[in-house]
Structure 1
Amino acid sequence: MASWILGAQWLAKTIHPELFSDLDMEKEIRSFYTDFYGITDTTLLDEFVSRFEKSVANNR
């Protein structure tokens, strides 16, 4: 599964926010699932973003 890419991006932004200030994780999540899995349903993409945000919030 290629979703580790999102984790690496999140970690980079978390550790070095000054270097990755232009990294938009919501945009990256939507792009990832569209590019890798061909998902274009906005409701489903909204759910992926929501789950990511909840996961991150639970780990702080």
Structure 2
Amino acid sequence: MLMLILNVVYVLVAVAMIALILMQRGSGAAAGSGFGAGASGTVFGARGASNFLSKST
């Protein structure tokens, strides 16, 4: 039972970390363009993450 609870907490923390990392604004747009990412933003666009975070809090 304890292992089940720990596994659930582990998965929730991992998903939360992935979501927070994807919402961050990309500061290295030039480095990202070398790998085919032409946009300077991430999941929510260039300014979408800051707007999303400010509206949700």
Indicate the TM-score class for this superposition, using the shorter chain for normalisation: 0.3 to 0.5
Larger fraction in helix: 1
TM-score (normalizing by structure 2): 0.34
TM-score (normalizing by structure 1): 0.33
Report which of the two structures shows the higher radius of gyration computed on alpha carbons: 2
